[in-house]
């Protein structure tokens, strides 16, 4: 990670304006082929806890899990912090609401400023970050609305308790985790697990009837089969996010999962329509949005299309003219049109 302006093929530190002078930042990698006119998937990553025995620093700049997937898919890769005021926390969640607000605000900026595709935003994480995929990523309806897919490695929200730290009592934790998982609404999740705890995440899904909440894929393997000489000067423990930097069948499974989700986008739908004046003149360049990270502008024909939307009641808004429509989304919806009376606007 370098201290430069964002550019193609570089991973840089980005400190949002409202966090200037603090320790809070995110890392941003733009693909080598990035151009200002392009549209790119986004992989958002969260790191593990600081844990000396496994070599995990808990720091944004030391994340590795999403990099190989970003290279493979031509995606933008951003590692987000756990935020507590002016600090980025290396253990657990910070203040959940601040962590979530930071993520939503800056995902939108990545879409606006760097060509991020709002319909192709993935969340991934290792260890603490693996739990955060659901604990943060599905914390409430607003943040849950952002994602196209979910990729976790080593641990899972609700699978076990961490006495003195997190998840106790387990029965209450699992009840809350099930509510969070219900917000997946049929989207795709890849639950990856080092074989030192074989089958435990899969068994957790089966025992708690969780498989119907989404299209769940399990990826179980031994990191020692991929990185032969652990510990070494790079990888000190098999509980690591760096295994994706080595070629393996397990890595291939991850890449194939990303490709399939990008192609089929399970659990998400499209809304489209047109924005015209009362005189039936197409209105170009008008912002249309449904949720904070799902937005587009009308083309020269006044047409718009918003993809990657989950089911349920949705508001489609045109902020400039204070117009909105509410629909119950259960499939692709077309002809959600708006007619604007320009005589009562500032246009």
- pLDDT of residue 344 exceeding 80, the answer is no
Q: What is the mean pLDDT of residues 263-287?
A: 97
Domain ranges of the chain: 11-264, 269-344
Q: What share of the chain has pLDDT > 90, as a percent?
A: 93
Q: Which residue pairs, CB below 8 angstroms and at least 24 apart, start in 247-255?
A: 248/221, 249/221, 250/192, 250/219, 250/221, 250/226, 251/68, 251/226, 253/217, 253/219, 254/68, 254/69, 254/151, 254/190, 254/192, 254/219, 255/68, 255/69, 255/72, 255/73
Q: Which of the pair, 182 or 199, is modelled with greater confidence?
A: 182
| Model pLDDT, residue 50 | 96
Provide the mean pLDDT of the chain.
95
| Model pLDDT, residue 199 | 84
- pLDDT of residue 347 exceeding 60, the answer is no
| Model pLDDT, residue 195 | 83
- CA gap 101, 164 in Å, rounded: 27
Q: What share of the chain has pLDDT > 70, as a percent?
A: 98
21-56 pLDDT per residue, tens: 999 999 999 999 999 999 999 999 999 999 999 999
Q: What is the mean pLDDT of residues 59-71?
A: 96
312-334 pLDDT per residue, tens: 999 999 999 999 999 999 999 99
Q: What is the mean pLDDT of residues 160-171?
A: 87
Joined together, the tokens standing for residue 236 give 């000190």
| Model pLDDT, residue 162 | 86
85-138 pLDDT per residue, tens: 999 999 999 999 999 999 999 999 999 999 999 999 999 999 999 999 999 999
- pLDDT of residue 185 exceeding 90, the answer is yes
Torsion of CA 295, 24, 70, 181, to 10 degrees: -70
Architecture of domain 269-344: Sandwich (2.60)
206-257 pLDDT per residue, tens: 999 999 999 999 999 999 999 989 999 889 999 999 999 999 999 999 999 9
Strand arrangement, sheet containing 215-221: 11-14, 26-29, 76-79, 40-46, 116-126, 149-153, 188-194, 215-221
Q: What is the mean pLDDT of residues 180-185?
A: 98
pLDDT band at 144; cut points 50, 70, 90: very high
- Calculate the alpha carbon distances from 122 to 42, 125, 248 in Å: 6, 10, 22
| Model pLDDT, residue 166 | 86
| CATH label, 11-264, candidates 3.40.50.300, 3.40.50.1820, 2.70.98.60, 3.40.50.12780 | 3.40.50.1820
Q: What is the mean pLDDT of residues 149-172?
A: 92
| Model pLDDT, residue 345 | 59
- pLDDT of residue 311 exceeding 60, the answer is yes
């Amino acid at each position: 990670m370098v201290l430069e302006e964002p550019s193609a093929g570089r991973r840089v530190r980005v400190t949002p304006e409202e966090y200037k002078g603090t320790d809070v930042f995110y890392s941003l990698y733009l693909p080598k082929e990035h151009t200002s006119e392009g549209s790119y998937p986004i992989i958002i990553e969260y790191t593990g806890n600081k844990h000396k025995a496994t070599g995990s620093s808990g720091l944004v700049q030391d994340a590795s899990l999403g990099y190989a997937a970003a290279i493979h898919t031509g995606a933008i890769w951003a590692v987000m912090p756990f935020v507590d005021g002016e600090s980025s926390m290396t253990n657990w969640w910070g203040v959940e609401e601040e962590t979530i607000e930071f993520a939503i605000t800056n995902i939108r900026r990545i879409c606006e400023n760097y060509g991020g595709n709002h319909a192709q935003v993935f969340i991934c994480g290792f260890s603490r970050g693996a739990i955060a995929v659901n604990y943060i990523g599905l914390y409430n309806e607003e943040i849950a609305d952002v994602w196209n897919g979910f990729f976790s490695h080593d641990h899972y929200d609700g699978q076990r308790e961490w006495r003195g730290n997190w998840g106790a009592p387990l029965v209450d934790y699992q009840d809350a985790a099930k509510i969070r998982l219900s917000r997946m609404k049929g989207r795709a999740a890849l639950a990856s697990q080092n074989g030192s705890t074989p089958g435990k995440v899969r068994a957790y899904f089966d025992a708690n009837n969780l498989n119907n909440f989404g299209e769940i894929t399990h990826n179980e393997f031994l990191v020692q089969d991929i990185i032969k000489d652990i510990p070494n000067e790079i990888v000190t423990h098999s509980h690591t996010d760096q295994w994706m930097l080595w070629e393996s069948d397990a890595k291939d499974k991850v890449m194939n999962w990303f490709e399939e989700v990008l192609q089929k986008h399970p659990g998400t739908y499209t809304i489209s329509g047109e924005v015209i004046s009362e005189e039936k003149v197409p209105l170009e360049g008008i912002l249309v949005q449904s949720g904070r990270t799902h937005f587009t502008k009308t083309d020269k024909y006044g047409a718009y299309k918003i993809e990657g939307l989950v089911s349920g009641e949705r508001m489609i808004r045109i902020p400039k003219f204070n117009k909105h429509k509410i629909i119950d989304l259960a499939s692709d919806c077309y002809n959600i049109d708006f007619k604007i009376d320009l005589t009562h606007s500032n246009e």
